[in-house]
Structure 1
Amino acid sequence: MSRRAFDVTRLPGFTTVAVVAFLLLYAPIVTLVIYSFNGGNSVNQWGGFSLKWYAIAAENEAVQGAAVRSLVIAVWASVIATTVATMAALGTTRRGRFKGQTLIYVLINQPLMVPEIVTAVALLIFFSSIKIATGYSGLGYLVLAHSAFCVPFAYLPIKARLEGMDDAMEVAAADLYATPWQTFRYVTLPLLTPGVIAGAMLAFVISLDDVIITEFVKSAGQDTLPTYMLGQLRRALTPEVNAISTALLALTVVILTLFFLITRKRDGTRD
């Protein structure tokens, strides 16, 4: 008699646990989206359907400034983090085992393994010393802080993509007298593009949503959307916060959808 393969979905109570887990994950988000269209002034009492809080948020100069600032920081942080992560992934995967490789993995992924508050305090101390020495207090500190925190998030999908790539084409390019740069530019990078895009998008979303590091590193007048919303929680809370949160959620969904379409198209072309 043949043995039936183990299937976790056949375990007793699996469906119930799955339904409860999805409810716990998505019910608060659905509630937030619904109450962003609340016409009343309360965040938890329905006052009729209305788009007025979206209009109020769009006309709020503080929200506009925080949104632009968040996008600028997230774009630069994702570019820097993805560039560093790509070089790190190439250096740790496109060669044999070497002494200290495990230590390098630990150092690259360090922000993932320690509490974010620890990283935030360390960045605060480091950048405060530079601010005192230089007198500069611009957005550059937030860009660098977000970049440092986002590197491991960009590194993981890029490294995974590299590990799944056969290096036969790279070896063939080298045999045909291509320089290392030509091999990377015309062979490795095109094959690596889905991983780079995934890393950049992940870094962008992480930077866009960050609160703790931003709160510690930012100077006066440098609120991002998350820190602006945190400040609103200390004041009179209105459905405007729900509208801003829903807009951020929609932006994240759009980014993930674009990523899915781009990677599916590239995989279909390669097949």
Structure 2
Amino acid sequence: MATQSAQWPTAPVIRRRSPLAWISDHLLGFLTALIFVFMLLPNLVILVMSFNQPIGKYDYVWNKFSLHAWAHPCATQELCTSMSLSLRIGAIATVVATLLGTMIAFAMVRHRFKARSGINALLFLPMAAPEVVMGATLTALFFNTIGPGSLGFWTITIAHVMFCLSYVVVTVKSRLAGMDPTLERAAQDLYATPTQTFMKVTLPLVAPGIAAAALLSFALSVDDYIITAFTAGQRETFPMFIFGSVQRAYPAQINVIGSLMLIVTMLIIAASTALGRMRATRR
């Protein structure tokens, strides 16, 4: 009988990776986490300091836990008045800028005309120009047309519509450029009217871009200080109130308002994400 030599299993060879290889594998994740911490840490500090009972006029140093600021968010009348003004201006500027910007985006993407390239270049000027230049230009325009005593609510709103318009056009244009045109042609082949095609096919596909543009416009309007300072006259928006509070007093209620804005924004993002997942599962 032929004998077979016994084959003993060999031990696996363990190769130790160098520290540089481990760093290169985890560097991207580490940098991503670091960037998110850098962006969200100020918001977390504001949320924590909103539960502080400060000593004196400035809520800069932690003293002790308190719900007084949350129970009385309008401790100063100027705070809630300025916040109400910013919200009203932001709502009007968002609606007007979103409507006009969406129509301009459709015209730029769906039609060809002689001034198209020039208008496309002009739309980027409010985004590229410094806000100080834009604010000073608008102030000179309003002063020359309506007079210095008329600066206020509507001049701020017009200025906000003007600089929000470019962001709406760019956002909606990117959504339209990525849309499949064969879907609209398929609806037309199924004898859908132009109105039905727009309402049933085009608008639902462009709606996420329009919603994103509206949210961006509202955030830019509520957050703006430089252009508003040039066109506000005697009115005071919420960013202007914060700038003045840093010089005379910084109550904890400012952190409460900032925390509420952050919470509402996160809830809107979570709701939109959940709605998108629900629609994807239904399909």
Length-normalised TM-score, structure 1: 0.82
Question: 1:6 matched to which residue of 2?
Answer: none
What residue ranges of structure 1 are gaps of 5+ in the alignment? Answer: 1-8
Q: What one-letter code is carried by the residue in structure 1 that aligns with 2:207?
A: T
Whether the aligned pair in 1 keeps the contact of 2:74 and 2:253 (CA below 8 Å) is: no
Task: Report percent identity of matched pairs.
Answer: 33
Rg larger in 1 or in 2?
Answer: 2
Question: 2:97 matched to which residue of 1?
Answer: 81
Whether the aligned pair in 2 keeps the contact of 1:194 and 1:263 (CA below 8 Å) is: no
Change beyond 3 A, Cα 1:197–1:21: closer
Which structure 2 residues correspond to residues 17-32 of structure 1 after superposition, within 5 A? Answer: 17-32=31-46
Question: 1:44 matched to which residue of 2?
Answer: 60
Q: Aligned-pair RMSD on alpha carbons?
A: 2.7
CA distance in 1, matches of 2:133, 2:278: 41
CA distance in 1, matches of 2:266, 2:50: 17
Question: 1:129 matched to which residue of 2?
Answer: 144
Change beyond 3 A, Cα 1:99–1:268: farther
Offset of 1:231 from its aligned partner? 1.2
CA distance in 2, matches of 1:38, 1:187: 51
2:240 counterpart of 1:227: yes
Change beyond 3 A, Cα 1:188–1:23: closer
Q: Which of 270, 275, 278 pairs up with 1:257?
A: 270
2:205 counterpart of 1:191: yes
Change beyond 3 A, Cα 1:151–1:14: same
Deviations 1:120-175 (A, max 9, x none): 11111112222219x64441111111111111222222112211222234345556
Deviations 1:183-215 (A, max 9, x none): 434442233222211111111111111111111
What residue ranges of structure 2 are gaps of 5+ in the alignment? Answer: 1-22
Which structure 2 residues correspond to residues 1-271 of structure 1 after superposition, within 5 A? Answer: 10=24, 13-41=27-55, 42-95=58-111, 98-132=113-147, 136-171=150-185, 183-220=197-234, 222-266=235-279, 271=283
Superposed structure 1 runs of 4+ greater than 6 Å apart: 175-179
Whether the aligned pair in 2 keeps the contact of 1:63 and 1:228 (CA below 8 Å) is: yes
Offset of 1:80 from its aligned partner? 0.6
Whether the aligned pair in 1 keeps the contact of 2:59 and 2:251 (CA below 8 Å) is: yes
Change beyond 3 A, Cα 1:85–1:198: same
